[in-house]
Amino acid sequence: MKNPIAAIKKLYDETVAELKKCTWPTRQELYESTMVVVSSLILLSVFVFVADKIFLLAVNLITGMR
pLDDT in tens, 7-53: 899 999 999 999 999 998 999 999 999 999 999 999 999 999 999 99
Cβ within 8 Å of residue 65, ≥6 positions away:
59
Domain borders along the chain are 25-66
What sign does the CA torsion over 41, 47, 53, 55 have? Answer: negative
Q: Is the pTM of this model over 0.75?
A: no
